[in-house]
Amino acid sequence: MDIGLLFLKGKEYGIEDMEVYTLNSISMGFNIYEGKLERYGISSERNLSIRGYYKGKMGYSYTEKLTDDSIDELLSNLIQYAQNNESEDVEILSSSSNSCVIIQKKENKLDRYSDEEKISFLKSIENDAFKYDSRIKAVRTCRYREKTTTVYIKNTKGLELTDTHSIGVITLSVVARDEKDVQTSYTQMVVDDLLEEYKDKLVREAVSDAVNMLGATSIESKNYEIILRNNVAADLFSNMSPIFFGNIVQKNLSLMKGKIGKRVGIPELSIIENPLMDNGAVFRTFDDEGIPTYSKYIIENGVLKTFLHNNKTAEKEGLKSTGNGFRNSHKGSIGVLATNMYIEKGNSTLEEMISTIDEGIMITEIEGLHAGINSISGEFSLSSNGFLIEKGKITRPICQIVISGNFYELLNDIVSIGNDIKFSSPEGNYFGSPSIKIKSLTVAGK
């Protein structure tokens, strides 16, 4: 599609200022199953979204058909949107003066490997998983996916920017079986290179979780001291992370509202959002409004420092955008999103945490996060698996339990923070957390 023609036609339709946002991506992926290559796939796509003012109101529309004959439909959809947009908030298109971004280019190390090398790396992962323990009877998923995405923004006020980022993701899920029981595990890792240490870590995590859970049973319902292992804490925080988004706060959907400058967690708790992080799910030097991004503390030493803002939400508070004006896809209007978030690591090792517990549970898996958390009240009730800890030692695996508590209370009930950061899935809000020991949660078992 000819962007010049699109802008020209837009003017003829009476659209005052316009911005084009294109998302181009290419991807490759495959699975390994019983030593064989399966489900190899490739893709290439170009998607385009526009926004612009019509009679003083912002309108949006998108198309995946990037031919000139789509222009009329695109513009008329934008106009219909603008005609029905009654928002009083003003969305501003950035001008070229904002675009003096320090261009940081990141080398894509995955490009150094051929498809064949990637395939044999994954084959060795599957093989190692089987070798690690004879009770591993199936490798349910051994998958590699890589994607290179290029964002391009150009508007009629002179702004023109582009950013490219590549990400690789390896997923490993195994099934362990003995005479009496079947257990599974699931682990995922964002990779920027094919390193032996990544492989070892993935295999160790997946295999030991499945094998160690064999023979798990439920436990008596009551309150227990709890360790949320790094992966579990990461999933929980990932799901709750929108409470730090300016638009959520302004709509009264976050109990963090009004707490800037106040203590919201224990003094050892610090949360960072870093758009330029190494090995992140995304790497962005500017956001989808063309505002330069930067790394910042959201919570520092237990005190809430800032919410994440786009132009519109910042304006309402008399603040500047924090560079978090992102679309969730080409079908999304500008909202607020986080890039890479994480809890700063503490000093304790997981073993030290376990050794301090007289009777408690280490939670190693939670399910049903999409429904088991009330994101407004912070109340959660989640199906879980884990291990019983007695007198400082892990004594047996536990399954079929539900842990219940409140996220906001949990921030103040943290006893210690580990030094073992693990990130949640890059498909959701990418959040890293070390293992966390908390005073207690209600556990429903038998």
Partner 1 sequence: MLNKSTIEDIFNVALSNGGDFAEVFVEDSFSTEIATVGGYIERGMSGRDYGIGIRVFNGLNSVYAYSNDLSKDNLVNMTKKVSKVLNDEKKDITVNFDKKVEPNIHKYNILPSSVDLSKKIELAKRATLAAKKYDEVISQVTVNYLDQEQNVLIANTEGVFVEDKRVRTRMLIVVAAEYGGQIETGYIGPGALMGLEFYDNVNIEDYAREAARTAKTMVFAGYCPAGVMPVVVDNGFGGLMFHEACGHSLEASSVAKGLSVFSDKIGQQIASPIVTLIDDGSISNEWGSLGVDDEGKKTQKNILIENGILKSYLIDKLNGRMMGMESTASGRRQNYRFAPTSRMTNTYIANGNSTKEEIIENTEYGLFAKYINAGSVNPATGDFNFSLSEAYLIENGKITKPVKGATLIGNGSRILQDIDMVGNNLQIGQGYCFAESGALFIGAGQPTIRVKSMTVGGREEV
Enumerate residues 73-132 that contact partner 1 by CB under 8 A: 73-74, 77, 80-81, 83-87
Comparison of 22 and 270: residue with beta carbon closer to partner 1: 22
Smallest gap from residue 104 Cβ to partner 1 (A): 30
Contact call for residue 138 and partner 1 (CB under 8 A): yes
The secondary structure element, H or E, covering residue 77 is: helix 71-84
Smallest gap from residue 403 Cβ to partner 1 (A): 7
The secondary structure element, H or E, covering residue 128 is: helix 115-132
Contact call for residue 412 and partner 1 (CB under 8 A): no
Contact call for residue 347 and partner 1 (CB under 8 A): no
Contact call for residue 70 and partner 1 (CB under 8 A): yes
d(CA 167, CA 106): 11
Contact call for residue 393 and partner 1 (CB under 8 A): no
Point out which span in 200-208, 292-300, 325-333, 389-397 binds partner 1 (CB under 8 A): 325-333
d(CA 140, CA 177): 13
- Range 170-189, binding partner 1 (CB under 8 A): 175, 182-184
Point out which span in 60-68, 124-132, 192-200, 356-364 binds partner 1 (CB under 8 A): 60-68
Contact call for residue 356 and partner 1 (CB under 8 A): no
Point out which span in 146-154, 195-203, 218-226, 412-420 binds partner 1 (CB under 8 A): 218-226
Contact call for residue 381 and partner 1 (CB under 8 A): yes
Comparison of 258 and 267: residue with beta carbon closer to partner 1: 258
Q: Using the rule CB under 8 A, which residue among 405, 418, 432, 434 binds partner 1?
A: 405
Q: Mapping DSSP to helix (H, G, I), strand (E, B) and coil, where does residue 88 land?
A: coil
Smallest gap from residue 61 Cβ to partner 1 (A): 5
d(CA 270, CA 235): 17
- Range 267-296, binding partner 1 (CB under 8 A): none
Q: Mapping DSSP to helix (H, G, I), strand (E, B) and coil, where does residue 341 land?
A: strand
Comparison of 25 and 162: residue with beta carbon closer to partner 1: 25
- Range 223-252, binding partner 1 (CB under 8 A): 223, 251-252
Query: What is the phi/psi pair of residue 144, to 5°?
Result: -120, 135
Comparison of 33 and 297: residue with beta carbon closer to partner 1: 33
Q: Using the rule CB under 8 A, which residue among 134, 218, 347, 395 binds partner 1?
A: 218
Smallest gap from residue 187 Cβ to partner 1 (A): 14
Contact call for residue 66 and partner 1 (CB under 8 A): yes
34: number of Cβ within 10 Å: 10
Smallest gap from residue 26 Cβ to partner 1 (A): 9
Residues 6+ apart with CB under 8 A from 383: 366, 367, 368, 372, 400, 401, 402
Point out which span in 230-238, 341-349, 364-372, 411-419 binds partner 1 (CB under 8 A): 364-372
Secondary structure in 3-state letters for 190-250: EECCCCHHHHHHHHHHHHHHHHHCCCCECCCCEEEEEEECHHHHHHHHHHHHHHHEHHHHH
d(CA 176, CA 413): 35
- Range 15-54, binding partner 1 (CB under 8 A): 33, 36-47, 49
Are 171 and 151 contacting, i.e. CB atoms less than 8 angstroms apart?
no
Comparison of 349 and 383: residue with beta carbon closer to partner 1: 383
Strands 160-177 and 335-336: unpaired
Question: What is the total count of residues that contact partner 1 (CB under 8 A)?
Answer: 74
d(CA 247, CA 314): 9
Strands 414-417 and 436-444: antiparallel
DSSP classification of residue 363:
E
d(CA 20, CA 186): 39
- Strand order across the 136-155 sheet: 15-33, 136-155, 160-177, 182-191
Smallest gap from residue 423 Cβ to partner 1 (A): 21
